Structure 1
Amino acid sequence: MQSKSIAVIVVAAGKGERAGLDGNVIPKQYRSLLGVPVLSRTIAAFLAHEQVSQVIAVINDEHRQQYDALELEDVRLLPPVAGGASRQASVLEGLKALAPLRPDLVLIQDAARPFATVELIGNVIAALQQADGALPTLPITDTIKRSRDGHEVSGTEDRRQLSAAQTPQGFRFGQIFSAHMRAGNVRRDFTDDAEIAEWAGLRVAMVKGDPNNIKLTHPQDFVRAEHILLGDARMETRIGTGYDVHSFEPGDAVWLGGVRIPHHSKLNGHSDADVALHALTDAILGAIGEGDIGVHFPPSDPQWKGAASSIFLKHAGELVARAGGRIVNCDVTIVAEAPKISPYAPAMCAEIAETLGISVRRVAVKATTNEKLGFIGREEGIVAMASASVEMPRGE
């Protein structure tokens, strides 16, 4: 089987609206899962298998910018193609795109299943030595009731004959391509590719599925997914604090919390002098024991002259993700007589949340004055204080 050409279609054209959490409207395949987008994890799972020859993602045209932002690089990863109005139509677009390459086998995977293991993928491939198609399944353990009207039980299924289907589902390329082409002229409501194969009279084998190979559909699925990724690692909560101050100088606006606020002065600093993001960056770095901004972005380095402070904050968030941690919440307090901060606080929360890849409900930005006292009261500068709560794997 190693001499066979094996292509993979990752179906990622859905909008994933049911997975919305805390007001998060990002399609589920692009949402961050412990710092890594779901689609990146799914594609990486197949690129990790040595028998895979090509991988192609079928995406929604409206999501092209989000796909490009994943910055995926591998010689086996083909340019994405646009999907159709249904999963069935999207898979067909992927098959059409692969047709000129004439692969021997094709695996079809839901983008929202990021936990396919090398072993599971290998078992599906191996089953294709004897069958036209193969898919992982799990036995049904619940008693299954049938109802004609959705209100009253009309029967009980024999669960011994029932299994829950997973992906990847594997097929001989020519056979499933032909089946999909014919099926599109007859029905457009097939729920998966194995059903199309069954309809076409192909022999479909079942292999043992993986309980952790879950499909991310609802908000609680992301919580379970985090538990799967963290495994048995014991987590501990760490708290970091940050403080920063910048003076005013002549200008026309200040940058605070990633938001430009018109003002008769600007803040003096090597970068954009965003005192709020500087304090928060230091809070996150402090929570994970990684020093402060100056360690990672020295003010003596000319490349950071005028740089957006969101670069510093994003770096701090990435360090948390690489260490297997997650940011629980961020709290920023800005002390200034002017400009007026409160009207811009919601926009600051949104910018911080997007930069860190967390829910906006995990971010707070508050503002107060210094009651006309001291250098702040004299409108000579602005102070920001921040705290960050971070969950990290417990070290020795």
Structure 2
Amino acid sequence: MRSSKVFTVDVVIAAAGSGKRMGAGRNKLLLNLQEEKEVVENSPERISSETKGLTLLEYGLKAFRQFPGIRTVFLVVSSSDRPVLEPLQEQEGLVLVEGGKRRQDSVHKALEQIDQNDEPPDMVLIHDGARIFCTEELIERVLKGCREKGSAVPVIPLQDTVRKILPREGATNGVMESWQRSFSEADLTCELLDRSELYAVQTPQGFRFEDLWKASLKSQKENWEVTDDASLLEKTGKSIHPVPGEAGNLKITTSEDLAWARWKFQSA
């Protein structure tokens, strides 16, 4: 009988955000998912593991902690959040990593720690901590795609009409400057794009660990700027393979997103 290889998997969750775009005044992942109150900053108390008082971060960890076959979750956090999150390291298979200046620097630090393991994993999943409604089904699809193709990135089709907005030739302001003033004052061009060819990219993104680690090392050496981990791998010439994402796998970024997340949690 042929034996099937058992792939080892580690997970990196980027959770070192500041919550600026939400206006929370702190990391939004430490906000309470059930009630409108925050975990007290630098509280010596352990973060609650009960449903009452559950933080966005704890809820988002559940799918990965419960998924069979995941070896270790490396949670990347800021130095200011580490004191309140330190008790999480009491959980088996969960390691805190202090983040870097950029998201890609934070992920690199986690990959560096993984590489120091005597037996690095076959595959690694990189996930945005703010996508707290990732399901086990999505994790399985990403891992399956990664096993078969070497990488897997969840995507969903765009539902809205999409336009590409650029400053007209000779314009003195960039697009973002014009956005802040208002489009009515802006000297911009507005080009319709074919949305049938466009997809929104989500996480978790899955990769062969060795491939992503080499790409991350090269990125640090050459100071690449990328917006996600798939882009990092793509710059080394590797192909990126899409798998179906989930509409509910929303990244909680704004106060409106937080209100939706609380509604979804309480409606479940």
TM-score bracket relative to the smaller structure: 0.7 to 0.9
| 8 Å contact kept, 2:16–2:27 | no
Deviation at 1:128, TM superposition (A): 1.0
Amino acid at match of 1:83: G
1:162 aligned to 2:198? Answer: yes
Task: Specify the alignment match of 1:64 in structure 2.
Answer: 82
Q: Secondary structure at the match of 1:107?
A: strand
TM (norm. structure 1) is: 0.55
Deviation at 1:184, TM superposition (A): 2.1
The question of 1:83 aligning with 2:99 is answered yes
- Are 2:18 and 2:25, in contact at CA under 8 Å, matched by a contact in 1? no
**Deviations 1:273-312, CA, capped at 9 Å, x for gaps:** xxxxxxxxxxxxxxxxxxxxxxxxxxxxxxxxxxxxxxxx
Structure 2 CA distance for aligned equivalents of residues 99 and 181 of structure 1: 11
Does the aligned pair in 1 maintain the 2:14–2:76 contact within 8 Å?
yes
Amino acid at match of 1:135: V
Answer whether contact 1:127 1:207 (CA < 8 A) is retained.
yes
Larger relative contact order (CA 8 Å, sep ≥ 6): 2
* 1:350-395 Cα deviation digits (max 9, x unpaired): xxxxxxxxxxxxxxxxxxxxxxxxxxxxxxxxxxxxxxxxxxxxxx
Aligned partners of 1:133 and 1:197 also within 8 Å: no
Q: Paired residue for 1:9? A: 12
Question: What's the CA shift for 1:44?
Answer: 1.9
Equivalent position SS for 2:221? coil
**Distance in 2 (alpha carbons) for counterparts of 1:221 and 1:114:** 11
Q: Provide the TM-score with structure 2 as the length reference.
A: 0.80
1:210 aligns with 2:213: no
CA distance in 2, matches of 1:51, 1:64: 27
Q: Distance in 1 between matches of 2:133 and 2:122?
A: 24
Is structure 2 residue 121 aligned with structure 1 residue 103?
yes
TM-superposed CA distance for 1:147, in Å, is 1.6
* 1:88-111 Cα deviation digits (max 9, x unpaired): 100000100101221110000111
| Deviations, residues 259-285 of structure 1 (Å, cap 9, x unaligned) | xxxxxxxxxxxxxxxxxxxxxxxxxxx
Q: Match of 1:112, as an amino acid?
A: A
Question: What is the aligned partner in structure 2 of residue 229 from structure 1?
Answer: 265
> CA separation in 1, counterparts of 2:104 and 2:161?
29
Over the aligned positions, Cα root-mean-square deviation in angstroms equals 1.6
1:126 to 144, 163, 174: 144
Deviation, structure 1 residue 187: 3.6
1:319-334 mapped onto 2 (5 Å cutoff): none
The amino acid that maps onto 1:16 is G
Query: How many residues are treated as equivalent by the alignment?
Result: 227
8 Å CA contact 1:2–1:51 kept in 2: the answer is no
User: Cα–Cα, structure 1 residues 188 and 15, in superposed 2: closer, same or farther, change >3 Å?
Assistant: farther
Q: How does 1:1-396 map to 2 (within 5 A)?
A: 3-20=6-23, 24-34=24-34, 35-68=53-86, 71=88, 73-78=90-95, 80-101=96-117, 102-149=120-167, 150=175, 151=186, 152-231=188-267
Shift of 1:195: 0.8
**Is the 1:5–1:103 Cα contact (8 Å) retained in structure 2?**
yes
The aligned counterpart of 2:41 is none
What 5-or-longer segments of structure 1 have no aligned partner? Answer: 233-396
User: Which sections of structure 2, spanning at least 5 residues, go unmatched?
Assistant: 35-52, 168-174, 176-185
CA–CA distance in structure 1, aligned partners of residues 82 and 27 of structure 2: 12
CA–CA distance in structure 2, aligned partners of residues 75 and 67 of structure 1: 14
Alpha-carbon separation, structure 2, partners of 1:205 and 1:72: 33
Change (3 A) 1:180 1:198: same
Distance in structure 1 (CA, Å) of the matches to 2:211 and 2:151: 9
Question: Which secondary structure state, in structure 2, belongs to the residue aligned with residue 9 of structure 1?
Answer: strand
Name the CA shift for 1:124/1:224 in 2 (closer, same or farther; >3 Å).
same
Shift of 1:231: 2.9
**Alpha-carbon distance, 1:140 to partner:** 0.8
Contact 1:145 1:153 in 2 (8 A): no
* Aligned-partner Cα distance in 1 for 2:198–2:110: 29
Residues 133/139 of structure 1: CA separation in 2 closer, same or farther (3 Å cut): same
Task: Report how far residue 186 of structure 1 moved.
Answer: 2.7
Change (3 A) 1:205 1:142: same
